[in-house]
Chains A and B, each alone.
Chain A
Amino acid sequence: MTDLAASALATEPKAIRVSRASDGGLLLTLPDGRSFAGVQVVCAAPLSQPNRYLCFLDSADQEILMIRDLSDLAPEDRPLVEEELRMRYITSVIRRVISLRREGGILYWETETDRGFRDLVVQSSDENIRWLGERRLLLIDVDGNRLTVPDIGELDPASARMLRTMI
């Protein structure tokens, strides 16, 4: 590892402690004994590297440290951080496309997601319909909600066909 790469990460991730404070916020304690309340966990690259490169921010949004992977943390602390990430990134996963219709530059969707049924409207543009790699798709609807298709190849044939012809 180069010096530059090493400087980006926390040195002793296993010695970091994460716990839930009584006010519902996260409490982060560093190996040197310093601790921070009201900590937020954010993904540095939530789209391309979800659940990796996790940054801990203090209550003033200043970065405290970054770890490379969830598994770098002590095992007992992982579920808590995982939970935080799940609540923070409200991205729904599309399991099935029920209907998809295009009018002008607007796409009207009805989808079955991991959170249940959802209809949405997406303005067709490279920003709102982003391919993350060959088969992964991210949609941002007109309200700014995020939905993804993790692998277009794993969708049922009808949904995949609709996606391929419309996008």
Chain B
Amino acid sequence: MSDFLEPFPTPILERVNRDAAKDERTLIRVAADLDTDMRFGSRWLVVTDQRVLLIDGAERREWPLKKIQSAHLDTLVGGGRLVLRNGNRELGVLYFTNSALPKFVEVAAGIERLIRTGDAGLPAVVDRIRCESCSRLLPEKNGVCPKCLDRWATVRALFRYLAPYRLGLISLVAVLAASIAAELAAPLAFRQILDRIVVPGMALRVLAGLVGILLAARLSMWLCETARGRLSVRLGARVTANIRQTLFDRVVHFPIRFIDAWSTGTLLSRFVNDIARLEEFLGSGAPLLVMSALLLAGILGVLFYLSPRLTAAIVLPVPLIILWTWFLWKRLRRAQDRQSSSLASLSVQVSESLSGIRVVKAFCQEDKEYKRFLECNDRVRIRSADAERESFLFFTVIYFLMNTGVFLVWFIGGHQVLQGALTVGSLLAAVSYLWMLYWPLQWFGQVSNSLSQALTGAVQFFELTDSPVEEPSAPGLPVRRIEGLVCFRNVTFGYNSNRPVLNEINFRVDPGEVIGVIGRSGTGKTTLMNLLCRFYEADRGTILIDGLDIRDYRLDELRKQVAIVPQDIFLFSGTIEDNIRYGCPDATFEETVAAARMANAHRFILEKPDGYDSLVGPRGDRLSGGERQRIAIARAILANPQILILDEATSSLDVESELAIQRALESVARNRTTFIIAHRLSTIRNSDRLLVLDRGRIVETGTYDELLAHRGLLWEFANAYSETRDLQ
């Protein structure tokens, strides 16, 4: 069943069916989640091929379909409304929250289509933006929910990262086992000394042998400890390096829409904090955990051998400990979660203050930034203290519970010695084992502390690595040479699907055409180009290059042949030459210079003492805005794309330099399609054709002169432009 035919409650269904015509077909049946008082409830909209009904509890209004002349969707704040109109007259209004908005966007478009063409043409399903089982927002429409992935898969995945180090791991475990055997041997030797020598007074030769065993046990324990330290540190460092590498590899391949959803600070914190925790855990926590577990098993085994009854007494507090852990664990975890989130916002704040340091200083706001930092820092302090307090409470109680075991052993064991069922040596050995038992248990405490943090880190890490990445070279898609025929068909898109930035965009550009794109700021010019580069996927409609849907191109091939000079230029730290060759590292120096010359950059580069070897500084800070733009243009020209997009690429240049670049581009633009986005009319005046955008729609297309004669929006721009020029 279609998602647009929602199941009705029965009484309403009966009422609707009662007076339905025989051959009447229900096309749309959806519930809005706000009632007429704007309370949460449900009001139903039913559209059949003959009627439109609004049903609100007992009240029902209906109109013949013919009477509805428009169905308009208004986006409000936190929701929206669907208005049914007959001419100028408002017939019915339906309010809903943002939860139902994506559905009603389709419904409104469907009713409009029904009125115009007689076919609602609704998609079979609404895009799923939430996970069906946990209703968490999905990182991608209809994608997989990272949270509902198999838990075991997380653990298994962690083991996958350990697999290459099998040999190291096995030797580590062997060393651990040896050290534990040595540790367990000591009290046993001690017991023999007590029972056979001190109490009955036996041979000196045996004593020497037993002391020798004690010495050997200590020595081998020390040796094993050293080996363990070396092995685990090396392993931990390697595994985390591997994990960090995987994470970065995933992140750079994420779709931009997904990266938009994370702040850079949060991603940074993933790299720094979470991975550090994983490292700490794998390096020291995990071996300690294995060792503690082995030691625990060994001690219990020996204790059982010494006296089953004593062992029972020692194990008695264990259920209490488990109960306590179960009771307080969540609180501890929550406190730690909050601590880590406050740390993340601290790093976001610091990186923001530092990247904006020029603005901070220009407005003398150093103290304000300092105060903001203090607030964040204070929050970290409070939350860290909370987490520490929780963890202190947690472990002291566990320690206390374990101590009750000692009293029990002295009491029960002493009783057994008095009865002659146990030797003094065995009792003392049992007590020293018990103290040994506390060490691994304390370690368990410490380890589980780092374990919990490491697991949070691991889950957050897998949350990222399990998110879908772009497939740069999907198998089966052929490599094609693009000619440059670009076609947009009914393309609608919004960064937030509720608010379309582009609406029903249709145009066609022939290979080799130079297209100027103009419009007020915020009308979607850059977005249009982002879609062409497939940084984002259109919500509806298709984009064709050479008649083929861009989704059917290999992404890497597509992006190689579509080059963009973006509005906000980004240069990487390195030399000018490196930056120009960024997209084609194989280019020769001659080609680099030729591209720079075309971009009108050659001259200023030569003026620098180090020429093409000049360093640009972090983000290109050492160059002026105009210089950065020209380097970015050279970078795009060198990539030799079939489709070239210049997004305000010459806005920081003086008119003369801009003209020079345009002339150079003309000579290379012969057989490539070029899009030029500009505010300045002079930039796009010589284009073959112009697209004029206004509020997400293409309102005019044609040559500059045609549009001027048309006296539309371009004419307005031109007037405003000439006025400002007169002022100059």
Enumerate chain A interface residues (CB-CB to B < 8 A).
22-24, 46, 61, 86-92, 102-106, 113-118, 121, 123-126, 142-146, 165-166
Contacts and interface: CB of A to CB of B under 8 A. Distances in A.
Given A22-B88, A89-B77, A143-B99, 12 more contacts: A23-B88, A24-B83, A24-B90, A61-B695, A86-B38, A87-B76, A90-B78, A105-B337, A121-B130, A124-B341, A143-B101, A144-B101
B77 A102 contact: no
Contact of A91 (B78, B460, B463): B78
Contacts of B38: 86-87, 90, 115
Nearest to B37: A115
B78 A89 contact: yes
Interface in B443-461: 456, 459-460
Given A87-B95, A116-B40, A123-B137, A146 B130 contact: no
Interface in B284-337: 334, 337
Contacts of B230: none
Nearest to B41: A116
Contacts of A24: 83, 90, 93
Contacts of B89: 22-23
B597 interface: no
Interface in B73-114: 76-79, 81, 83, 85, 88-90, 93, 95, 97-99, 101
A146 B34 contact: no
A121 B134 CA distance: 9
Of listed A61, A90, A114, A124, residue having the most chain B CB within 10 A: A90
B77 A142 contact: no
A102 B78 contact: no
Nearest to B263: A125
B40 A117 contact: yes
A39 to B, nearest CB: 13
Nearest to B349: A126
B137 A121 contact: yes
A114 B37 CA distance: 11
A22 B459 CA distance: 57
A127 to B, nearest CB: 9
A143 B147 contact: no
B624 interface: no
Nearest to B146: A104
Interface in B134-159: 135-137, 147
Interface of B: 34, 38-41, 76-79, 81, 83, 85, 88-90, 93, 95, 97-99, 101, 129-130, 135-137, 147, 266, 334, 337, 341, 345, 456, 459-460, 463, 496, 498, 695
A60 to B, nearest CB: 8
Contacts of A144: 78, 98, 101, 496, 498
A145 B341 contact: no
A24 B86 CA distance: 12
A23 B40 contact: no
Contacts of A165: 334
Nearest to A42: B77
Given A23-B85, A87-B38, A115-B34, A142 B130 contact: yes
15 contacts: A22-B89, A90-B38, A90-B79, A91-B77, A92-B40, A102-B337, A105-B341, A106-B136, A115-B34, A115-B40, A121-B136, A123-B136, A126-B345, A142-B129, A145-B98
A143 B98 contact: yes
B97 A88 contact: no
Contacts of B88: 22-23
Contacts of A123: 136-137
Nearest to A124: B341
Contacts of A46: 77
Contact of A121 (B95, B135, B496): B135
B83 A90 contact: no
A142 B136 contact: yes
Contact of A118 (B40, B93, B137): B40
Nearest to A119: B135
A134 to B, nearest CB: 12
Closest 4 CB pairs of A and B: A24-B90, A142-B137, A90-B79, A90-B78
A112 to B, nearest CB: 11
Nearest to A123: B137
Nearest to B79: A90
A164 to B, nearest CB: 11
A145 B40 contact: no
Given A22-B89, A118-B40, A143-B99, A88 B83 contact: no
A146 B88 CA distance: 32
Contact of A88 (B77, B129, B136, B498): B77
B380 to A, nearest CB: 14
B97 A90 contact: yes
A145 B39 contact: no
Given A104-B147, A115-B38, A116-B40, A90 B95 contact: yes
A161 B77 CA distance: 29
Given A23-B88, A24-B93, A146 B135 contact: no
A116 B34 CA distance: 10
Nearest to A46: B77
A22 B345 CA distance: 51
B78 A145 contact: yes
Contact of A146 (B39, B78, B83, B137): B78
A46 B695 CA distance: 23
Nearest to B261: A123
Q: Which of B90, B93, B266 has the most CB of A within 10 A?
A: B90
Contacts of B147: 103-104, 106
Most chain B CB inside 10 Å of its own CB: which residue of A61, A104, A106: A104
Given A104-B147, A106-B136, A121-B136, A115 B345 contact: no
Nearest to B99: A143
Given A116-B40, A121-B136, A102 B98 contact: no
B127 to A, nearest CB: 13
A118 B135 CA distance: 14
A111 to B, nearest CB: 11
A147 B348 CA distance: 26
Given A90-B95, A124-B341, A144-B78, A102 B334 contact: yes
Contacts of B456: 104
Contacts of A114: 39
A145 B79 contact: yes
B33 to A, nearest CB: 9
A163 to B, nearest CB: 13
A103 B78 CA distance: 25
